[in-house]
A and B are shown apart, each in its own frame.
Chain A
């Protein structure tokens, strides 16, 4: 059996930030002294579907938990059930149903909605406001011109849940730009028609990627670059230029005035170690020292448009909290069982496997 181990026990002791100070008693569940580090956040860039920010003073495992949740566990809405009334297009029904599923839908409502399998107000047949949204599509081509059926042709029963529209984004030039025309579903020639009813449901990326709100979620460690100035001065200008050019990304530069090598963009470094190999090959090992700071992360979050990028991160935190709650509450039900035995177990409807404490 494999255990993931970490030998370090406690790190430096950090003070509680001011706004949490009144809750100090409440916060320190696990001892007199607070050994949990409280991270800081700084936003670098913020758009509706893109955010870049720094998360400092925490650990990879926390950053990675949030990343994984954003990709696979933040809920969105996507078309999940399609009833074809008529389809004389060149694509078969299943093909079109799949394409419909992949269209991103505005999903601000998704966090409050119910999963259709947990919904007791309906049988998941789409007649229920808590778990489903209905779409209708009815298009027929009556001209000799090929007709594009796009996400704009989907008519939603809920004005807050519509296909993502990028035509108002800044970078799109002209009305005929491909982005302005919506997501293409199928093309029709004269006489062909497509008529269908579709049900969108709440879901998570773990079940199907169509429900993932994430286009990209990544974090990188912040590199710390220290140039050994003394050793660097033993290089000629030509050698310096050669060394700087050996880096595949533009991290270093030779200052034209002072002729010194300077770091221009530490974060462009991709940990490829080309620059270190070059230094070794030039007979100057230790020319530069590069450390990755493993407690500072630079997050890049790109959304499909279903949820605002900043909201994705907030939702991820909320979901992580519900996970923790679920584990904690399952303890409480277990304790209730210890107290009331089989009776309590039966009263809860014979809960499945929280019951027995196995003592060998």
Chain B
């Protein structure tokens, strides 16, 4: 799995860092960039894949004050929460859909299409 290496800036200012994520690509790079961009503490964020045949993402992060690594860690947590949320919503939606479908099939089996209409409206 991925490993991360942090490169500080020339002035040893830890509010600006480049993180080098190995074994990752646009899948994680672009999603992290989006989440970080939503964070008001972020002054700049961008990512690049220096060479297409090397599995590596360089993520540049500059903040308005806090440590860059802390902001990145928060972004990871935020995205985790987002994922959990989508998972819950998706499973709920599938369950609801199956319940409605099941009810429709049952009502078709019992009393034909007249009932079918009712159930859909409900």
Asked whether A328 and B73 contact (CB < 8 A) given A36-B78, A334-B4, the answer is yes
The reply to whether A65 and B8 contact each other, CB–CB distance below 8 Å, is no
**Given A3-B60, A36-B81, A317–B86 Cβ distance below 8 Å?**
yes
Task: Decide yes or no: A62 and B78 within 8 Å by CB, A10-B39, A43-B94, A357-B6 being known contacts.
Answer: no
Shortest CB distance A70–B (Å): 10
Closest to A332 in B: B73
Contact A43 B97 (CB under 8 A): yes
Give chain B residues whose Cβ lies under 8 Å from the Cβ of A324: 28, 76, 79-80, 83
Inter-chain contact A4/B33, CB cutoff 8 Å: yes
- Chain B 31-71 interface mask (CB, 8 Å, partner A; 1/0): 10111011111100011101000000000100000000101
Shortest CB-to-CB span from B41 to chain A, Å, is 7
Selecting from A25-33, A105-113, A220-228, the interface stretch reads A25-33
How big is the A interface, by class? 35 or more
Please tell me if the beta carbons of A35 and B40 are within 8 angstroms of each other in the complex: yes
State A55–B30 Cα separation when bound (angstroms). 18
**Known contacts A29-B78, A46-B97, A327-B2: does B31 contact A65 (CB below 8 Å)?**
yes
Pairwise interchain contact A353-B5, C-beta atoms closer than 8 A = yes
Closest to A33 in B: B40
B52 CB to nearest chain A CB (Å): 12
Q: Dominant SS at the B interface? A: helix
Residues of B within 8 A of A310 (CB): 90, 94
How many chain-B residues does the 8 Å CB contact rule pick out? Answer: 61
Contact B77 A29 (CB under 8 A): yes
User: Could you tell me if B85 and A46 are in contact, using CB atoms closer than 8 angstroms?
Assistant: no
Q: Which residue of B lies closest to A324 (CB)?
A: B76
A39 touches B46 (CB 8 A): no
With a CB–CB cut-off of 8 A, which chain B residues contact A64? 26-27, 30-31
10 pairs from A and B in contact (CB 8 Å cutoff): A1-B48, A3-B47, A19-B88, A29-B77, A41-B90, A58-B86, A61-B31, A317-B90, A321-B80, A358-B5
Q: Which residues of B approach A to under 8 Å, CB–CB? A: 1-8, 10, 12, 21-22, 24-28, 30-31, 33-35, 37-42, 46-48, 50, 60, 69, 71, 73-94, 96-98, 101
Known: A29-B77, A53-B90, A317-B83. 6 other contacts (CB 8 A): A17-B85, A31-B41, A317-B90, A324-B79, A327-B2, A331-B73
